[in-house]
Amino acid sequence: MKILIIGDVVGRAGRNIIQQELTNLKSKYQVDITIANCENASGGNGLTEKNAKEFFENGVDIITMGNHVWDKKDIVNYIDDYTNLIRPANYPDPCPGKGYTIFEKNGIKIGVINISGIVYLNNLICPFTTIDAILEEISSKCKIIILDFHGEATSEKIAMGYYSDGRVSLVYGTHTHVQTADKRILPQGTGYITDVGMTGPFDGVLGVDKDIIIQHLKSRRPVKFEIATGIMQINGLYVEINEKTGKCEAIDNFIKVIE
């Protein structure tokens, strides 16, 4: 099974890149499914239903989210209507939406899980007990299981990788918007990268206009963030997973800069 992961899509710039580049990437890697993190896709924070539909129309199969999942308030009205749009699973119940989905492609069932870290982020339910509970539910239903771990701390992400090793096919980090150079296959066969990066402005600070961020850091006063312009980028990950064993057999990250 060939899977394409797209790093955090940021604002209109990121959405435009998906529209322009995703078809070519899917063709290049001959992928079976595409997963994209879209928690920053609408105005830099959150996701509107209109934009969610655009992602699906442009070839994204599954959308994952993160700590900005509720920033566009109307998401509570539509998130339950989409089986392939998931939010972090470790929000307390009752909560709109769901934290995982089982997607079927070519007769193969793929479990996709979204969990938030809690170091320097919202104080949600423990991510480690959350993954245990979900795996107890779905491990018998699908051999291939993918985890988008949306976290701030690299230590927490690496710990989740080792904690899940051999129980899931792939653990990849999102949220920090900077692709890390540590892609690997862990000892028990789980593919891993600490952060897959972002899709959107290249000439900015995590997608935001660099001058605004510098002003904010110097003054320590609130400023209105605006998405950067200029050179763009698409960051992602390509993995191959054995359909019988569920183990990762190949993993490769990419960054494409678009001028």
> Structure tokens of 143?
């051999």
88 CB-contact burial (10 Å; exposed 0-12 / middle 13-18 / buried 19+):
buried
Handedness of CA 161, 67, 85, 180 (dihedral sign): negative
> How far is C-alpha 47 from the chain's CA centre?
13
175 is in an annotated binding site: yes
User: 66 Cβ partners below 8 Å, 6+ apart?
Assistant: 8, 37, 39, 88, 114, 116, 150, 174, 175
Strand partners for 3: 33, 239
216 is in an annotated binding site: no
Rg (CA), the chain: 17
C-beta separation of 246 from 144 below 8 A: yes
Residue 170, classed as helix, strand or coil, is strand
| Total Cβ atoms within 10 A of residue 180 | 17
51 is in an annotated binding site: no
21 is in an annotated binding site: no
177 is in an annotated binding site: yes
Residues that are catalytic: 68
Closest CA to 248 of 178, 179, 168, 176: 168
Which residue ranges make up the annotated binding site for Fe cation?
8, 39-40, 67, 150, 175, 177
Which residue ranges make up the annotated binding site?
8, 39-40, 67, 150, 175, 177
